[in-house]
């Protein structure tokens, strides 16, 4: 079930997730309509690509820690569009200050979705800070997000999907996924192509 978390206390009872990351992202992006999606460094980009390439997905190949802030800038620039950032716990931990900024900005059309496997998947599967008790959901709540949730089953993920199309944010969801490494499905690597394709989907000229 989707559970909204309002506390900002320390998450002392760390439990390893069991959800399949590819199934989670496929569910999130099902019937996405005009949703604008920004993906974080590494595995979350591969997951989104595995669910299907899309002109309104902006894949970040680098800029670790920057996905949430790219999403914030996009949400501010396009207040009539719903923006979702899909990233990992390691990437979001590197950009913790972004959560405070997003909470302070009160952007209603932005949601951050963290695929949390308690590990740094891109550097050798070392335990991340969430695996050591850091509570990203609590941090988001304490930063002023309108809603925050920790999801551990597909029923909760299914309930999340329609919420991403509402302008009731900023919102934050941490989805507890298994610590596995599925085969990489690589998005296009040409940054200029990705930028101009995304701009074209917004009705903007290439630059």
Q: Does residue 4 belong to any structural domain of this protein? A: no
- The Cβ of residue 177 has, within 10 Å, a number of other Cβ atoms equal to 29
Residue 147 DSSP one-character state: E
Place of tokens 């009705």: 203
Which CATH number covers residue 46? 3.40.50.970
pTM of the full predicted structure? 0.91
**pLDDT in the model for residue 16:** 85
Q: Does residue 64 belong to any structural domain of this protein? A: yes
Q: Does residue 8 belong to any structural domain of this protein? A: no
Q: Does residue 120 belong to any structural domain of this protein? A: yes
Q: Does residue 178 belong to any structural domain of this protein? A: yes
How do residues 42-51 score in pLDDT, each as one tens digit? 999 999 999 9
Q: What percent of the chain has pLDDT over 90?
A: 77
Tokens of 79: 């207040």
Q: Does residue 14 belong to any structural domain of this protein? A: no
Q: Does residue 121 belong to any structural domain of this protein? A: yes
Q: CA torsion angle for 142, 109, 1, 174 (degrees, to 10)?
A: -50
How do residues 57-97 score in pLDDT, each as one tens digit? 999 988 889 999 999 999 999 999 999 999 999 899 999 99
Q: Measure the CA–CA gap between 205 and 178, rounded to whole angstroms.
A: 41
User: Residue 123 belongs to what domain range?
Assistant: 21-201
**pLDDT in the model for residue 8:** 35
**pLDDT in the model for residue 49:** 98
Q: Does residue 157 belong to any structural domain of this protein? A: yes
The domain tally of the chain equals 1
Q: Label each residue of 24-92 as H, E or C.
A: HHHHHCCCCCCCEEEECCCHHHHHHHHCCCCCCEEECCCCCCCHHHHHHHHHHHCCCCCEEEEEEHHHH
The CA–CA distances, whole Å, from 53 to 7, 45, 150, 189, 204 equal: 37, 10, 27, 12, 20
**pLDDT in the model for residue 9:** 39
**pLDDT in the model for residue 2:** 46
- The Cβ of residue 20 has, within 10 Å, a number of other Cβ atoms equal to 16
**pLDDT in the model for residue 14:** 74
**What backbone phi and psi angles, to 5 degrees, belong to 58?**
-105, 105
Q: Which residues in the chain come in under a pLDDT of 50?
A: 1-10
């Amino acid at each position: 079930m989707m559970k909204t978390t309002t506390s900002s206390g320390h998450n002392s009872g760390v439990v390893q997730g069991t959800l399949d990351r590819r199934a989670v992202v496929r569910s999130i992006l099902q019937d996405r309509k005009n949703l604008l999606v920004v993906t974080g460094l590494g595995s979350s980009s591969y997951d989104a690509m595995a669910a299907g390439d899309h002109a309104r997905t902006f894949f970040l190949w680098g800029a670790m820690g920057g996905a949430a802030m790219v999403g914030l800038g996009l949400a501010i620039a396009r207040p009539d569009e719903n923006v979702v950032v899909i990233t990992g716990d390691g990437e979001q931990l590197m950009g913790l200050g972004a959560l405070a900024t997003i909470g302070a900005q009160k952007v209603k059309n932005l949601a951050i979705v963290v695929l949390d496997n308690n590990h740094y998947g891109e550097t050798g599967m070392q335990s991340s800070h969430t695996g050591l008790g850091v509570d990203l959901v609590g941090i988001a709540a304490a930063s002023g997000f309108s809603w925050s949730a920790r999801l551990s089953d597909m029923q909760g993920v299914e309930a999340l999907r329609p919420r991403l199309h509402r302008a009731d944010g900023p919102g934050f969801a941490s989805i507890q996924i298994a610590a596995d490494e599925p085969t990489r499905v690589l998005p296009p690597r040409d940054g200029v192509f990705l930028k101009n394709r995304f701009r074209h989907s917004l009705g903007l000229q290439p630059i």
